[in-house]
Amino acid sequence: MITYVGKPVNRVDGVAKVTGKAKYAAEYKVPDLVHGWVISSEIAKGTITRIQTDEALQLPGVIQVFTHENRPDLAWFDLSYKDQDAPPGSPFRPLRDAEIKFSGQPIALVVAETLELARYAASLIRVEYEVENHETEFEAHLSRARDPKLGLASLLKPPPPKPRGNFDEAFAAAPVQVSGEYVHSAEHHNPMEMFASTVVYEKNDKLTIYDKTQGAQNSQLYVSQVFGLSFKDVRVISSYIGGAFGSGLRPQYQLFLAVLAARELRRSVRVSLTRQQMFTFGHRPVTIQDIKLGASEDGTITAIRHDAFAETSRFEDYTEIVVNWSGMLYPIPNSKLTYKLVPLDVFTPLDMRAPGGVTGVPALECAIDELAFKLGIDPVELRLKNYTDRDMDADLPYSSKELRECFRQGAERFGWANRNPQPRSTRRGHTLIGWGMATGIWDATQGPARAEAVLTVNGKLRVSSATADIGTGTYTIMTQIAADTLGMPIADVLFKLGDSDMPLAPIEGGSWTAATVGSAVKVACEELGKKLFKMARKMKNSPFARANLDDVLFADAHIRLKSDPSVAVSLREIVDQNGGHAVSETSTSTPNFLKLRKYARSAHSAAFVEVEVDEDFGTVRVTRAVTAVAGGRILNPKTARSQILGGMVWGISKALEEESVLDHQFGRFMNHSLAEYHVPVNADIQNLDVIFVDETDTIVNPLGVKGLGEIGIVAMPAAIANAVFHATGKRIRNLPITLDKLL
Amino acid sequence: MTNFSYFRPGDLNSAIGDLITHEGAKFIAGGTNLLDLMKENVERPARLVDINQLSFNSIEETEGGGLRLGALMTNADTAYHENVQNRYPLLSHAILAGASAQLRNMATNGGNLFQRTRCYYFYDLATPCNKREPGSGCGAIRGFNRIHAILGTSDQKPETACIATHPSDMCVALAALDAVVRVTGLAGERTIPFADFHRLPGDEPWRDNTINPGELVTAIDLPAKGFPQYYAYIKLRDRASYAFALVSVAVALEIENNRITDARIALGGVAHKPWRKPDAEAMLIGQAVSVADFQSVAEALTEGAKGYGHNTFKIELAKRAIVRALQQAAKLEPTP
Ligand SMILES: Cc1cc2nc3c(=O)[nH]c(=O)nc-3n(C[C@H](O)[C@H](O)[C@H](O)COP(=O)(O)OP(=O)(O)OC[C@H]3O[C@@H](n4cnc5c(N)ncnc54)[C@H](O)[C@@H]3O)c2cc1C
Ligand code: SF4
């Protein structure tokens, strides 16, 4: 029975969150807790020659200062430090030795009875360095660009496809050409909640860890391997997360430090990072892209070249899919796509909402806009002309692709038909008004996961899986799926997540959780249903004695005969008959790889944007935006809309405001506070509109969902940059478009 | 953050006395700037003298027909005060262009004058900064200086270089209005014309203003002339709210029979203090509004401006903002 799926059900965790009942990693009250304060490196490269800790240690209440000099022996091999999202290379090990690899590197942990004391003691510690020259300036080291190392990560993030046709010839022969260099700055995730771990030291050296992470089992794996502990002695809990955007895909260094201190001191320890320290680990990498497009006069795109150069650290090869989209979105017969890395003295970049997608697609979509302008063809028109239902690189049809409908409905809602194609054609006083649009695409993936479904002694349904909810609404949609699968009222269903003791789930990211864990929840509930039906059939005088599973349905917490729904057994009765014992079932859902292999699978979107630009000041406001999304089945229009709105806001942020600025004198990000690292405020956000176009997909996964976490952001930056061009006649290829670039 | 003791005096004398007798003591009012700086170890007061019990939290008429703004009045209460809104709308607008509603509810008028620069390097102990650590050098001058000054900088000697700006919006309007700062110290009360309150970095970039140790600001006096008819405050920044000015302009004009009879222009975000230039303002006096040459005034006001790379755009931006603000104040342009 479909009662809840597809309905705008309120967040099941909403009340807990707004009333403060939802606890975050740093909020757990633990007896005898001591506090750690992280000291960060002031230089970007070199060696620590001396750390003076005496003065700090003399303060009453300061317990210990951990540094590379006194840390215990830990795992030897890199492999032990690899978490589930580790790129190829040698993971950073906090306090490993005296070597400094990046500015802000954690070099000591001060542990004291109170947080204030630890923080004060930290200010008394003197560190001396032998400084070496660092290289952090991306543009200056482009000549060092090289191919990324391949590793397990390349399964999920395949390298660029082989060239198609012959780009050079086709481009040279193309009567209409555009080319440009697109740049975007580094960005930090900056979720509201700072990274924190509360490590509870229990009897027999067991640890229960409240950690901010997008994968409780990922943190468990990491801690177990690094500290040589068995899984059963390490439990990681992460029930609520105050945003993460990808930053929680890898265990951050506060986890390592808190566990190290707890084990050495045999006490419970908490370590929280400061906002400034939130700028000392993974970030979206600075990327430079060159794009060349060739087309015939009628707008058929015949050639594309897309070369991307991205930064990584010296120790790991972080990669993302930047250029491959260019081979997927348009059926261009001649294409050459490359992706290269430049290792610098920075921390390894890290997946950040639509990693690679919101890097590569905006560059491509600006280039397409440039081409449309040069050809004198409407930008939507040009995209329709070069539409494809196949992913040409994979040489597979899309499992579903309602992008055409996104264009149509988005354009209609926006009023695109009234657009005067001429740049600078609309103004009001000093204000230039421009309209732009762009396409978005993101992978629709599914992984294997497990879930447990339990009919409890009081006849309620409890479902769990070790996934995470970073605010996207996972709690809510899983509850909806479970309630519908077993025909339970939603109030009687409890979905739990974020505990390493729960059935296996992969790290939560890449918009795959709805499909991955949703499928597992569905299967677990179906299996539980089968079991319950069998039990019902065996009951004395069972009305189902001669019925098959196909003959019944689950509704209102009952199993009912389809032919006569008044013939029913309540789930509650089954538990009672079971001697009052709960009934449970744990199952695994695995994607049907054989079927999936035959299709390309993506979510699509189209964004339409209006901007107002002050022609003297260069200030840009997004006054109106419509995003139409083809994202498969929408499980919950309310949480889904919020996801897309959030993505759109971030798209505005990326296009106009957001930028981590690194000073190369010091190799250090300088605007490391939320006063100077700008993200939109309410006054920046005006009319945002979301459309979900109908898209039925029977292939992607049993639920027909594609995931909505990232697709909302992908199309926005280019739509804004294109609107700015339309308003001003200026093509800004370097994001964010701050006012100085338009003066 | 270091340990500090805390004292909340009930009257002015014990506030000043306590501050003078305790080394490393600092006044605290709303705390919106001081506490941030303490958390970053930039300020390390040994004692906080909390002045919130003192009675300087009202707005009163002065004998000269102006208004006296109590130092402990919040920015919000000041901006929304009827007399300020009606008689000094420029000030009201400038205050409301600053920070966020939450901050303005805490921030005091006195504290606003003393707020320190937002220079990234000033805030980061890992980098050199002459203002924070005299003689250590200026990180910004060859670094990321997008928000930095273009006028009145100190850039000749490494050990005294400083290109920081004063970040306040309120102070830009106060400068334009020729406000007077009233301070009381051990030696008694004195008044400081607004133009002399903040200073340029010169050879002592660590000194933001001309106040003496132990002096407390009790009030800010606004002269009778409030320019309620012809005024404009333009603030240009990286987002629509809750960001410091890249460039701001306060303009106050007096216009009689279509001729400009008095003109004040103050710039924010471009110097170590609100920037005024009387001879540039004088160029406007006697000009007919409709044909006034605002562009030349803008050139004169920004004469000698110098960019340091990231902030060079401010020179042109400031000129355009001056012209627009003059047009708005003269009602040649609508005010958005
Ligand atoms: C994120 C953020 C954004 C902001 N944006 C803006 C903006 O856009 N525009 C803007 O103008 N401002 C902005 N502000 C700054 C804000 O206006 C100031 O922090 C505030 O005005 C300071 O007032 P306070 O009472 O809180 O001062 P406090 O923090 O209490 O004190 C600041 C300093 O003044 C001294 N002091 C305070 N009162 C007196 C007195 N009566 N006599 C002598 N000394 C005194 C203190 O000793 C201290 O050194 C922003 C602040 C923040 C945190
Ligand atoms: S500009 Fe002034 S405040 Fe900034 S680093 Fe230089 S000396 Fe310090």
**What is the 8-class DSSP label of residue A682?**
G
B4 interfacial to chain A (CB closer than 8 Å): no
The pLDDT > 90 percentage for chain B reads: 97
Cβ–Cβ gap A743/B142 under 8 Å: no
**Exposure pattern of A709-741 as b/e (b: 16+ CB <10 Å)?**
bbbbbbbbbbbbbbbbbbbbebbbbebbbbbbb
**Nearest atom within ligand 2 for CA of residue B119:** 4
CATH code at position B10: 3.30.43.10
The architecture of the domain spanning A447-590 is 2-Layer Sandwich (3.30)
| Choices 3.40.190.10, 1.10.540.10, 3.90.1150.10, 3.90.1170.50: CATH for A34-133+191-274 | 3.90.1170.50
Answer yes or no: same fold for A142-187+283-445+597-742 and A447-590. Answer: yes
Is the torsion defined by CA of B222, B224, B228, B234 positive or negative?
negative
Confidence of residue B238 (pLDDT cuts 50, 70, 90): very high
Question: B50 exposed, middle or buried (CB, 10 Å; 0-12, 13-18, 19+)?
Answer: middle
Quote the tokens at residue A218. Answer: 């990922």
pLDDT digits (tens, 9 = 90+) for B248-260: 999 999 999 999 9
Confidence of residue B45 (pLDDT cuts 50, 70, 90): very high
Mean pLDDT of B119-138: 98
Query: What is the predicted pLDDT for the residue at A349?
Result: 98
- Of B33, B53, B73, which residue sits at a domain end? B53
Query: What is the predicted pLDDT for the residue at A511?
Result: 80
Confidence of residue B297 (pLDDT cuts 50, 70, 90): very high
A332 contact partners, CB below 8 Å, separation of at least 6:
A164, A301, A302, A303, A304, A326, A386, A392
Cβ–Cβ gap A676/B41 under 8 Å: no
Among chain B residues, the shortest Cα distance to A679 is held by B239
Query: What is the predicted pLDDT for the residue at B331?
Result: 96
In a domain, B135, yes or no: no
Q: Kindly indicate whether the domain formed by A142-187+283-445+597-742 is annotated with CATH number 3.30.365.10.
A: yes
- The whole domain housing B44 covers 5-53
In a domain, B88, yes or no: no
pLDDT digits (tens, 9 = 90+) for A131-145: 999 999 999 999 999
B127 interfacial to chain A (CB closer than 8 Å): yes
- Do you know the residue count of chain B? 336
Determine the distance in angstroms separating the CA of B227 from the nearest CA of chain A, rounded to an integer.
26
Quote the tokens at residue B54. Answer: 């003192």
Query: What is the predicted pLDDT for the residue at A29?
Result: 95
Distance CA A197, CA A450 (A): 26
Question: B117 CB under 6 A from ligand 2?
Answer: yes
Is the torsion defined by CA of A55, A56, A60, A66 positive or negative?
negative
Q: What is the β-pairing status of strands A207-211 and A196-201?
A: antiparallel
Q: Choose the residue to mutate in B55, B68, B108 for probing ligand 1, maximizing ligand atoms within 8 Å of C-beta.
A: B108
CATH code at position B269: 3.30.390.50
Please spell the DSSP secondary structure of A562-604, one letter per residue. Answer: SS-TTSEEEHHHHHHHTTT--EEEEEEE---HHHHTTSB-EEE
Q: For residue A318, which of A352, A292, A288, A289 has the smallest C-alpha distance?
A: A352
Confidence of residue B335 (pLDDT cuts 50, 70, 90): confident
The closest CB to that of B317, out of A672, A684, A743, belongs to A743
The closest CB to that of A670, out of B144, B240, B243, belongs to B144
* β-strand partners of B294: none
Q: What is the β-pairing status of strands B230-236 and B247-256?
A: antiparallel
**Nearest atom within ligand 1 for CA of residue B43:** 49
Query: A with B: how many residue pairs have Cβ under 8 Å apart?
Result: 94
Distance CA A615, CA A350 (A): 37
Please report, for chain A, the start and end positions of each structural domain, with discontinuous segments joined by +: 34-133+191-274, 142-187+283-445+597-742, 447-590
Confidence check: pLDDT of A662 > 70: yes
In a domain, B323, yes or no: yes
Please spell the DSSP secondary structure of A150-216, one letter per residue. Answer: P-THHHHSPPPPPPBS-HHHHHHH-SEEEEEEEEE-BB----SSPPEEEEEE-GGG-EEEEE--S-H
**Nearest atom within ligand 1 for CA of residue A674:** 1
The pLDDT > 70 percentage for chain A reads: 100
Q: Is A557 left (phi over 0), alpha (psi -120 to 50) or beta?
A: left
Confidence check: pLDDT of B2 > 80: yes
Confidence check: pLDDT of A1 > 70: no
Query: What is the predicted pLDDT for the residue at A188?
Result: 98
Cβ–Cβ gap A684/B124 under 8 Å: no
Q: Tell me how many domains chain B contains.
A: 2
Confidence check: pLDDT of A3 > 80: yes
With contacts defined as CB-CB under 8 Å, which chain A residues touch B298?
none
| Sheet architecture: strand order including B259-268 | B230-236, B247-256, B259-268
**C-alpha dihedral over A651, A652, A656, A660, to 10 degrees?**
-50
Q: What angle do CA B128, A186, A372 make, to 5 degrees?
A: 140
Confidence of residue A98 (pLDDT cuts 50, 70, 90): very high
Confidence check: pLDDT of A510 > 80: no
Mean pLDDT of A363-391: 98
The closest CB to that of A671, out of B41, B120, B240, belongs to B120
